[in-house]
Amino acid sequence: MPNLKIELIDVTCRDTEDITGADDFYLMGALAGGAVTKAILTRPIKINNRQTKTFRPEDTVLFEGEIPEGQSVKGGLKAYDEDAAKDWTKYGDTIKKITSAVSAAVSAAGGPHGAIAGTILSAAVTGSGWLATLDKDYLLGTTELEISATGPSMEERSWVMSKKGGSGWSTWDYTLRYRITRS
pLDDT of residue 168: 58
Q: Where are the alpha helices (DSSP H) in the chain?
A: 91-108, 117-127, 131-134
Residue 155 in contact with residue 149, Cβ under 8 Å?
Answer: no
User: For the ranges 4-18, 22-36, 107-121, which has the lowest average pLDDT?
Assistant: 107-121
Q: What is the CATH number of the domain that holds 145?
A: 2.60.40.150
CA–CA distance, 118 with 122 (Å, rounded to integer): 6
Considering only residues 97 and 126, tell me which one the structure prediction assigns the higher pLDDT: 97
Phi, psi of 10 (to 5 degrees): -165, 175
Model pLDDT, residue 167:
65
The arithmetic mean of pLDDT across residues 109-114, rounded, is 72
pLDDT at 73 > cutoff 60:
yes
Quote the domain boundaries for residue 155: 3-182
pLDDT of residue 118: 79
pLDDT in tens, 119-168: 887 878 777 775 545 557 889 999 999 999 999 999 999 999 999 876 65
- The pLDDT assigned to 111 comes to 72
DSSP state of 135: T
- Does 57 have pLDDT greater than 90? yes
pLDDT reported for residue 166: 66
Tally of domains within the chain? 1
Give me the chain's average pLDDT, please: 89
Asked which of 29-33, 44-48, 141-145, 162-166 is least confident by mean pLDDT, the reply is 162-166
What is residue 96's three-state secondary structure? Answer: helix
Write down the pLDDT at residue 134.
53
C-alpha to C-alpha distances, 53 to 9, 18, 40, 45, 83, nearest whole angstrom: 9, 17, 18, 8, 19
pTM of the predicted structure, to 2 decimals:
0.88
Angle at 81 between CA 90 and CA 176, to 5 degrees: 100
